[in-house]
Amino acid sequence: MLVESQSLTSSDEVTLRSSNIAMPAQTLDATLELKKAFGAAAPYYEEQFNSLPPAKRMRGILWQSYLKYFRPGMKLLELNCGTGIDAIMLGHRGIHVHATDISEGMVEYTRKQIAASHLEAFVTTGLLPFDEISRLAGYQFDGAYSNLGGLNCAENLRPIALDLSELIPTGGTLILCIMPDFALWETLSFLLRGRIKKGFRRKAPGGVWANVYNHKVHTFYYSPSKVSEAFAPYFSCVEIGGLNIFTPPPTSTRAYTILGRSARLLEKLDDVLCRTYPFSHIGDHFYIVLRRTDVSLNS
C-alpha cells in the first residue's frame, strides 16, 4: 500500500495535521517523560553510546549515506539531534544544519559542541517536538534526516510526513534511521533463552515502554513498508539498508566480547547483505532514503 488510488484527500490531510495541535493528557505525559528521559541521558550519551566501537561503525555507515545524498552548501533539518554529533560532522563538510530535539539537555549539549567546533555559521539549534514541526512553515530545506530511532518515539508518522512535505522541495532527500518491528538478532537471543513474548515485543500493538535512564519512553516500531506507506505519495522510497542484522546491537558489549573475532565475520556478512531483501528489513535498525515527489499537499 505504498501509493494507493484511494489516498487521503487534501481536506483529510489538513484535518490530520491539525489534530496534532491539541494533545490528550496521556500524550502530554508521554511527551514530558520523553523530555525528562533524554534530558537525563545528555551528559552520558557521548560516553556510554557514541564511544562504543559497534556504535561508531553503525554511525559511520549512516554517515556514508548522508554524504552520498547531501552536498556542501545544502540546508538540512535534523530531527532528534541528540548530542549533535551528526550535525557537527555535516557542518565540518560545509553543509548547513538546523539541529532540533525535544530535550533541552540535548540541545544545550549540542550548542556547546557547535561552539567548541567553531561551526556557528553552519549549525543552528532549536527545541522542536515532532508534533510542532509545522512551526517551521515558511522555511525551506534541501533535505532532512533523523538518526538512531528517534522517530520510534512518534506514535504516528503520517503527520510528520505531511509537515516535512511542506518544508522540502521536489527532489529533496529525507534519510531516516528507524528500529523495525522485527529484529533477527534480538528475537533469536530472546527465543534461545525461552523468553518468547519478549522475542516478539516489537510486534506488540500500541508499542512498548522502554526504560531510558529511569524514565519510561513509549516506543513504537515500524517496518520499512510502514514508513514508505506513511510518507507516500509525498515521498518515494529510493534505498533501504539494514543495520546490525547478523551482528548484535551496538550496546550489547557482552555479546561482542563473547563473539570475539567472529564479530568481524558477521560485520562482513552485514555489509554484503544489508541492502538485499529481506535482510535489509530485519536488522536492529534500518535506514530508508526517501525522495520528495512533485505531489503537493493541496493537489
pLDDT given for residue 164 in this prediction: 98
> What is the DSSP code (8-state) at residue 22?
S
Give the long-range contacts of residues 167-170, CB within 8 A, separation 24 or more: 167/77, 167/133, 167/136, 167/137, 167/139, 167/140, 167/141, 168/140, 168/141, 168/142, 168/143, 168/144, 168/292, 169/140, 169/142, 169/292, 170/292, 170/293, 170/294
pLDDT given for residue 299 in this prediction: 64
C-alpha cell at 72: 556542501
Digitized pLDDT (tens) for each residue of the chain, 299 residues in all? 222 222 233 333 333 333 333 334 444 455 666 666 666 666 666 667 778 899 999 999 999 999 999 999 999 999 999 999 999 999 999 999 999 999 998 999 999 999 999 999 999 999 999 999 999 999 999 999 999 999 999 999 999 999 999 999 999 999 999 999 999 999 999 999 999 999 999 999 999 998 777 778 899 999 999 999 999 999 999 999 999 999 999 989 899 999 999 999 999 999 999 999 999 999 999 999 999 999 998 76
Neighbouring C-beta atoms of residue 111, cutoff 10 Å: 16
CA gap 234, 296 in Å, rounded: 7
pLDDT given for residue 11 in this prediction: 33
pLDDT given for residue 42 in this prediction: 67
78, 142, 156, 209 from 96: Cα distances, Å: 10, 10, 28, 35
CATH class of the region 10-292:
alpha beta
* DSSP helix/strand/coil, 75: strand
Residue boundaries of the structural domains of the chain: 10-292
pLDDT given for residue 152 in this prediction: 96
Residues 6+ apart with CB under 8 A from 7: 232, 233
